[in-house]
């Protein structure tokens, strides 16, 4: 089967049957890499405080930015982004070398799902993680960098207008999911990206409630930039 040909349900089943334990290792590896939470590490190591007890108590980029400023928020974003990016690329490379491009493609989407789950629900951190936005960005950059960079550019413009990171995050996952549903020829890939979006909705549900009620706080991005924090 060529690289650009759709993977049928039967072929996907054969990949899982033939490389099941390798795919299981991909999931375990990516999940536990996801357990490394940049916000918790940075806040404890460099600030001597646990971000989960401050601000919104969420271990993510937005709360780090609000509580400790742009520098720490950007560091959190970058580390969590690289986490998702690395898991996808490593998993794809390993399974491609073992089972070919179809196995590698399945591995990258499994790795993406696992690293987001590991970030949102880290068993090593008492299941108190972040919301998966930065890790999700890393996953989609690894899978489709050009389209993802376009979405991010438009998303940043929107962020400056609405000044709410939750809107940016939900819009990002929604656009990615819709894109793969419309254009991708592999039947199972929209399922993965749809699950990524559902995880984002679950993680951001309190934000969604506040948005509906008009109570969601603004990030204050322009003010933070002006202060150089």
pLDDT digits (tens, 9 = 90+) for 163-180: 999 999 999 999 999 999
- Predicted TM-score (pTM) of the model is 0.90
pLDDT at 33 (0 to 100): 98
SS3 of 82, please?
Answer: helix
> Does an H or E element contain 165, and which?
helix 165-183
Provide the angle, in degrees to the nearest 10, between the axes of the packed helices 101-120 and 70-99: 150
Provide the angle, in degrees to the nearest 10, between the axes of the packed helices 145-162 and 133-143: 150
pLDDT tens across 13-30, in order? 677 667 788 999 999 999
């Amino acid at each position: 089967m060529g690289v650009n040909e759709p993977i049928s349900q039967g072929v996907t089943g054969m990949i899982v049957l033939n490389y099941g334990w390798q795919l299981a290792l991909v999931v375990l590896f990516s999940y536990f890499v996801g357990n490394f939470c940049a916000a918790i590490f940075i806040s404890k190591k460099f600030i001597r405080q646990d971000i989960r007890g401050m601000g919104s108590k969420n271990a993510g980029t937005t709360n780090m930015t609000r509580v400790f400023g742009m520098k720490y928020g950007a560091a959190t974003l970058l580390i969590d982004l690289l986490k998702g990016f690395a898991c996808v690329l490593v998993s794809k490379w390993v399974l491609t070398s073992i089972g070919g491009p179809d196995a590698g493609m399945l591995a990258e989407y499994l790795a993406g799902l696992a690293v987001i789950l590991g970030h949102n629900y880290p068993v090593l951190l008492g299941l108190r993680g972040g919301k998966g936005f930065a890790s999700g960005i890393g996953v989609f950059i690894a899978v489709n960098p050009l389209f993802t960079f376009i979405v991010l550019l438009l998303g940043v413009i929107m962020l400056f207008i609405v000044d709410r990171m939750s809107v940016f995050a939900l819009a990002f996952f929604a656009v990615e999911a819709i894109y793969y549903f419309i254009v991708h020829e592999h039947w199972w890939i929209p399922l993965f990206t749809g699950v990524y979006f559902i995880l984002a909705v679950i993680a951001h549900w309190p934000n969604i409630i506040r948005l509906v009620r008009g109570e969601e706080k603004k990030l204050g991005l322009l003010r933070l930039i002006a202060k150089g924090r």
